[in-house]
Amino acid sequence: MTPVWLQQLVTALPGVSGEQLSRFLPPPTGGRHSAVLVLFGEGEHGPDVLLIERAHTMRSHAGQPAFPGGALDPGDGAPTGPGPVAAALREAQEEVGLDPCSVDVLGQLPALFLPPSGFVVHPVVAHWRAPHPVGVVDIEEVAAVLRVPLADLVDPERRLQVRHPSGWTGPAFEAGELLVWGFTAGLLDKLLELGGWALPWDTGRRRALDPAMVTLAARGATFPAGPPSPASA
């Protein structure tokens, strides 16, 4: 059974449009299809979401905060069918040791586009019905695994805007030592609103992204350098 604290988000999911999440939507053709698992659970600090820090040796989006996920395989099926769910659960199992049987899929959000890497990302939203220990399994893809309490994400003292060298400014979250920004922060920002959890915060609190962090994240970019979208890095 879906917990009460997730009910508003579950009710909202079917009516969410891509335009509500980002101004960067998938092109009519092309793009590399991938899926991410937005996994909400409940731990010792209350409701939380599972995040990873991508390995600093990755060919694209290195070192960035992310949801578990990866590219769709040919055996996953079409992106408009079961493909994203299969890919998101498989990748989470390979990256952090998540047991797919412990998860209830709640729905899919519209696909979004990441211009820097050319990925068409399909977010899969799920409830972690039976949480269990997870951690880094694939060291080539994951540097760290975090269960970030929603109470921390909505804490006004942990919210800020970050400024990219391109001039783009977008939402960010301070999750311990990890700064959550880019695609992950943009999507979390929208989901906190949709779930009814967001609190007012000072959007004038801003800081520039560390140049080394930006350079690392831009590794493998296939598109000309430019500002990330509100839900992309």
**Chain centroid to CA 66: how far?**
5
Q: Note the maximum CA span of the chain.
A: 46
pLDDT 10s digits, 194-208? 999 999 999 999 999
Q: How far apart are CA 59 and CA 117, in angstroms?
A: 10
Residue 62 has pLDDT above 70, yes or no: yes
Q: How far apart are CA 120 and CA 141, in angstroms?
A: 19
**Ramachandran region of residue 176, left (φ > 0), alpha (ψ -120 to 50) or beta?**
left
Q: How far apart are CA 131 and CA 145, in angstroms?
A: 14
Residue 232 has pLDDT above 60, yes or no: no
* Residues whose CB is less than 8 angstroms from the CB of residue 157 and which lie 6 or more positions away in sequence, other chains included: none
For the entire predicted model, the pTM comes to 0.91
- The CATH number of 14-217 is 3.90.79.10
What pLDDT score was predicted for residue 122? Answer: 96
pLDDT 10s digits, 78-127? 676 668 999 999 999 999 999 999 999 999 999 999 887 788 999 999 99
What's the whole-number mean pLDDT along residues 136-164?
96
Structure tokens of 220?
């493998």
Residue 164 has pLDDT above 50, yes or no: yes
**What distance, in Å, lies between the first and last C-alpha atoms of the chain?**
34
What's the whole-number mean pLDDT along residues 176-188?
94
What's the whole-number mean pLDDT along residues 58-78?
81
